[in-house]
Amino acid sequence: MNKRNQKNNRDAQPVAIIAAGNGDMGFIREVKERSGTDLSACFHCRCCAGGCPFIEAMDYSPHGVIRLAQLGMREEVLKSATIWTCVGCHTCSIACPMAIDMAAVMDALRGIAIESDAAIAEPDVLDFHREVLRSIERYGRTHKLEIMMRYKVKTRDWFTDMDVGLRMLAKRKLDLMPSRVRNTKDLKRMFRKNAEGGIP
Ligand code: SF4
Ligand code: SF4
């Protein structure tokens, strides 16, 4: 990335003001336990934000979410759009001098948000995640065409990205029929165990 792009990216970083209140100081421990990452090590150098390809769609920058967690602002974190916008690409984890695994943090936060019945800022993203998981549960693989169709039915958003879908079909990037792994029994058992709360 050249210097001008780096500057533009920095300028594009979300600038939501963080107002500290009476924080839930157990929250950061909960996130640490679930993600295996010590958020208190973050010293806000902003390297993660500088390289994040989705920062313009976020309400808080990635390190902003960490700051909220450090301040114990549980509700603000769980209802932020950032935790759903992150695609877990690990660009930030590679850049972080403190080896903070941001993707694992966001994953943990999404799990806590669902379990806490927090207001989901990006419900369509959650629907998409669910469709991907359903596909894996059924076939042991993702069947992209079916995921897209089911997602469209759920969101009733028929035409957005239609051109991309048609181009992918034309280039044979979308299989019409699903392929499945030979043995899906273990997978189904794993999903069942997770639904019963057996997998942390
Ligand atoms: S790169 Fe690491 S230390 Fe720097 S702000 Fe991001 S999470 Fe914190
Ligand atoms: S893992 Fe998430 S926060 Fe980090 S660079 Fe990728 S999209 Fe951004």
- In the chain, what are the domains? 3-115 (1.10.1060.10), 123-195 (no CATH)
Q: What is the pLDDT of residue 168?
A: 87
**Residues 65, 21: contact at Cβ < 8 Å?**
no
Kindly state the average pLDDT of the residues 177-184: 86
Instruction: Select from 124, 119, 114 the least CA-distant residue to 155.
Output: 124
Point out the least confidently predicted range of 33-42, 86-95, 130-139, 178-187: 178-187
Compute, in angstroms, the gap from residue 114 CA to the centroid of ligand 1: 25
Whether the per-residue pLDDT at 9 is higher than 80: the answer is no
Which pTM was predicted? Answer: 0.78
Average pLDDT over every residue of 54-79:
94
pLDDT digits (tens, 9 = 90+) for 18-61: 555 567 888 999 999 999 999 999 999 999 999 999 999 999 99
pLDDT band at residue 13 using 50, 70 and 90 as cut-offs = low
What integer pLDDT is reported at residue 186 of this predicted model?
85
The pLDDT score that the predictor gives to residue 5 is 45
For ligand 1, pick from 48, 52, 61, 67 the residue to mutate: most ligand atoms within 8 Å of CB: 48
DSSP string, 7-43: HHHHHTS--------S--TTHHHHHHHHHS--GGG--
Supply the pLDDT for residue 109. 96
Atom of ligand 1 nearest to the CA of 62: 6
Higher pLDDT, 151 or 4: 151
Nearest in space to 53 (alpha carbons), one of 81, 90, 7: 90
Please report the pLDDT score of residue 43 as a whole number: 94
Q: Which residues line ligand 2 (CB under 6 A)?
A: 48, 51-52, 54, 62, 86-92, 102-103, 106
Residue 128 CB partners (closer than 8 Å, separation 6+): 147, 151
- Residue 10: the pLDDT is 47
- On whether the CB atoms of residues 88 and 103 are closer than 8 A, the answer is yes
60/155 Cα distance (integer angstroms): 25
Better pLDDT: 34 or 165: 34
Quickly state the pLDDT bin for 12 (edges 50, 70, 90): low
Residue with CA nearest ligand 2 atom 2 = 86
